[in-house]
């Protein structure tokens, strides 16, 4: 019983961490591909075109 | 756990990002630079064409205003907003952003694999990476083909919304069809993958680019290859590093 509880709390914390790193990854892609800041756009310009993120 | 995901994704981001940056340097970037010559009216032969690029920033087509991608833009310092200078600085800037993007792709792939309780190895990482390419590369390209600076395009926000919705719908469709894989899930998945294309991507109502069509064609193909490479490498390397970490953990536990 205790093992089962431990396993489930382990897999829950595993899920929480994976959800957090997923959000971090999506945030990075938002910054490099979509952020509407002119300076970020200029720095990322060639990559945005190469990765076919909608640009301009 | 956190450390393992971040580490594997970081290594994958560096390896896949650097390899992709080199590929970009020789494939897509030269085409972008050449397209900018046409956009700025500096390309040979453009003066005789009778089309002054300076007045093509917005043109009326049947009353609809077209927004010319990149029309107001010039690379270099404009209005005090920083832009990398052409040459080494621009290459470095592009490479750093590509590495960051590859890191982001690897983080997304690994996180979803952990959430799915999938077996993580170099081989399965490659499979998930290919699925990522299908969702964020192939599917959006059907509606919004990879385009060079100077191409006519619809309003940016509309295209971004369609792109994001298409990537999410395709990823969810692939998940239903390949992970759940019951008859209803496969049918639902296929519907989800088709739906964005039935709705349709926002398009301009005319074509105004002065960039030769051959250049745009080469670019669209090169861009798809670049995306395929970054996604599959990010998945493979992330899976490989993760798998090595697992082997190390098992060895420590056995000792």
Helix axes A38-50, B28-39, angle to 10 degrees: 120
Cβ distance B98 to B20 under 8 Å? yes
Cα separation, B235 vs B231, whole angstroms? 6
Question: What CA–CA distance (Å, rounded) separates B231 from B134?
Answer: 9
B98 or B250: whose pLDDT is higher?
B98
Quick one: angle between helices B213-254 and B2-26, nearest 10?
Answer: 150
Contact B163 A53 (CB under 8 A): yes
ipTM at complex level: 0.89
Contact list in A for residue B2 (CB cut-off 8 A) is 17, 20-21
Calpha distance B176→B170 (Å, rounded)? 10
pLDDT of residue B39: 84
Q: Which two tokens stand for residue B81?
A: 């907003």
Which residues on A lie below 8 Å from B135 (Cβ)?
none
Instruction: Check residue A25 and give its pLDDT.
Output: 97
Separation of CA B160 from chain center: 12
Nearest-CB residue to B73 (from A33, A44, A56): A56
Smallest CA–CA distance from A20 into chain B, residue:
B111
User: Which among A18, A31, A34 has CB closest to B160?
Assistant: A34
pLDDT given at position B69:
47
Report d(CA B21, CA B196) in Å as an integer.
30
Mutate to test the interface with A, among B7, B97, B157 (most CBs of A within 10 A): B97
pLDDT at residue B68 greater than cutoff 90:
no
**Which tens digit of pLDDT belongs to each residue from B25-65?**
999 999 999 999 988 887 765 544 444 444 444 443 333 34
Residues of B in contact with A39 (CB under 8 A): 81-83
- In tens, the pLDDT along B193-228 reads 999 999 999 998 888 888 899 999 999 999 999 999
Domain boundaries in chain B?
2-47+55-154+203-254
Alpha-carbon distance B31 to nearest alpha carbon in chain A (angstroms): 10
Q: Which of B69, B75, B101 sits opposite A51 (nearest CB)?
A: B101
């Amino acid at each position: 019983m205790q093992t089962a509880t431990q396993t489930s709390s382990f897999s829950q914390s595993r899920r929480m961490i994976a959800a957090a790193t997923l959000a971090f990854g999506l945030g990075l892609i938002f910054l490099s591909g979509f952020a509407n800041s002119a300076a970020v756009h200029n720095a990322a310009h060639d990559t945005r075109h190469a990765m076919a993120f909608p640009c301009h | 756990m956190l450390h393992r995901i971040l580490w594997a994704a970081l290594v994958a981001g560096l390896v896949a990002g650097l390899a992709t940056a080199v590929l970009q340097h020789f494939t897509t970037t030269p085409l972008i630079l050449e397209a900018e010559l046409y956009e700025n009216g500096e390309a040979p032969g453009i003066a005789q064409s009778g089309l002054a690029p300076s007045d093509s920033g917005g043109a009326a087509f049947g009353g609809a205003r077209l927004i010319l991608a990149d029309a107001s833009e010039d690379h270099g310092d404009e209005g005090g907003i920083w832009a990398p200078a052409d040459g080494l600085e621009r290459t470095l800037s592009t490479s750093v952003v590509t590495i960051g993007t590859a890191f982001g792709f690897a983080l997304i792939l690994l996180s979803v694999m952990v959430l799915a309780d999938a077996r993580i190895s170099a081989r399965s990482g490659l499979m998930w990476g290919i699925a990522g390419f299908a969702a964020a590369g192939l599917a959006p390209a059907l509606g919004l083909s990879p385009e060079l600076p100077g191409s006519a395009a619809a309003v940016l926000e509309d295209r971004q919304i369609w792109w994001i919705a298409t990537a999410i719908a395709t990823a969810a469709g692939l998940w239903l069809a390949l992970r759940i894989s019951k008859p209803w899930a496969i049918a639902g998945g296929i519907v989800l993958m088709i739906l964005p294309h039935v709705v349709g991507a926002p398009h301009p109502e005319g074509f105004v680019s002065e960039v030769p069509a051959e250049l745009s064609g080469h670019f669209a193909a090169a861009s798809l290859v670049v995306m395929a490479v970054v996604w599959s490498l990010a998945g493979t390397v992330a899976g490989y590093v993760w798998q090595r970490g697992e082997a190390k953990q098992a060895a420590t536990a056995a000792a």
